[in-house]
Amino acid sequence: MEQKFAAQLFTVRDELTKGITSTFKELKKMGWAGVQLSALPAGYDPNEVKEALQETGLGAAGMHISLDRMEDDLENVVKEADLYGTKDIVLPYIGEEHRSVEGYKSIKKRLNDIARKLPNYRISYHNHDFELKTEINGVSALEYILEPTQDNLVLAEIDVYWVKKGGQEILSFIQPYANRMPIIHLKDMSDDEKEVFAEVGTGKIDFLPILQWGEKYGVEWYAVEQDICPGNPMDSLNISYENLMRLKEQI
């Protein structure tokens, strides 16, 4: 199962500015099997990323790509995906201008349009908690975007922290996305009133049933993302990795 554990690069965005290859080498030495490509330095060379992946043996656990790039630079996005050896293209965030009923409807349509252009790739949506605050057709905007129907090509990349932050029970919430969620985002929530980002296994989220569900229902990568770390992000990722390895033994 450890071959599915990936570090989300937004966690180490500052380290990446000092060196992509050196950061990848440190993550590989720590034990990670893959990285999810995100927050790469401005002006990065895709070939450098490819070479760093090849040199370290890290797998590419999908790419986080902005909506603008998906729509305006799709040819190069696909070239990058091919270069890195991934089929997963994920929309990680939408601005406030899209956070209305009509905005969410537009996002779903636009992502489906992109998915139809790329039948050999997978288009997913990564959530925060704000999508849970708008209702569309009797469900949250997030459930609307990810509706598990045959004609909806948008797959899920559920971030478990944000689901809990939005007041939902994680295991119940992810049930509809069985075999529709190739990548899941893991981050813990501190076990206090602040409920800030925490290392996996140190907070109030019970990850064991989530991992058990993932192994049963098609999760290919468990990507750990910690948006803000209390100290060195590498130390936080190491704690998360060691705790995931312990949890793996119980599955």
Q: How many CB atoms lie within 10 A of CB 127?
A: 27
pTM of structure: 0.98
pLDDT in tens, 63-98: 999 999 999 999 999 999 999 999 999 999 999 999
Domain ranges of the chain: 2-248
**What angle do helix axes 20-30 and 46-56 make, rounded to 10 degrees?**
30
Measured between alpha carbons, how far is 21 from 106 in angstroms, rounded to an integer? 38
Please name the CATH architecture into which domain 2-248 falls: Alpha-Beta Barrel (3.20)
Torsions phi, psi of 221, nearest 5?
A: -140, 135
Residues contacting residue 249 through CB under 8 Å, at least 6 positions apart: none
For the chain of 251 residues, list the mean pLDDT of each consecutive stretch of 10.
98 98 98 98 97 98 98 98 98 98 98 98 98 98 98 98 98 98 98 97 98 98 98 98 98 93
SS3 assignment, position 8 = strand
Beta strands in the chain (DSSP E): 5-8, 34-37, 59-64, 88-91, 122-126, 135-136, 139-140, 155-157, 183-186, 188-189, 197-198, 221-224
The answer to whether residues 245 and 2 touch, using CB atoms and an 8 Å cutoff, is yes
Write down the pLDDT at residue 155: 99
